[in-house]
Amino acid sequence: MSNPAYVVFNVNVIDSEQYDKYRIFSGQAMAEHGAEVLVRGGEMTVLEGSAHARTVILKFPSVEKAQDFYDSETYKAGRELRKDAAVADIFIVEGVA
């Protein structure tokens, strides 16, 4: 059995109109790949260091499934829209079962 995996997005939106277009593709890719949304925006308290304005955390059954989401044609189309709309740090973290 695989460990779950989490895709973490730390984002500063610079063009909200363009970012909304990205969100359409992102949401479609999440639905296509069975992402479970754990965090989407929300109130944040920074305890140390600095944070981006927006954090999103998606859960997938495995690292491979998370990578499939990120590499999907649907999400690739969204990434093209996001590249000029936001500054983002995005990574996959393997969880524990």
Using 50, 70 and 90 to split pLDDT, how confident is the model at 81?
A: very high
In terms of C-beta distances under 8 Å and separation of at least 24 residues, what long-range contacts does 23-29 make, across chains too? 23/78, 24/78, 25/74, 25/75, 25/77, 25/78, 25/81, 26/75, 26/78, 26/82, 28/74, 28/78, 29/69, 29/72, 29/74, 29/75, 29/78
Of all residues in the chain, the percent with pLDDT exceeding 90 is: 90
Which of residues 50 and 17 earns the better pLDDT score? Answer: 17
| 37-63: pLDDT as tens digits | 999 988 999 999 988 999 999 999 999
Answer yes or no: pTM beyond 0.85.
yes
Q: What is the mean pLDDT of the chain?
A: 95
pLDDT higher than threshold 90 for residue 18: yes
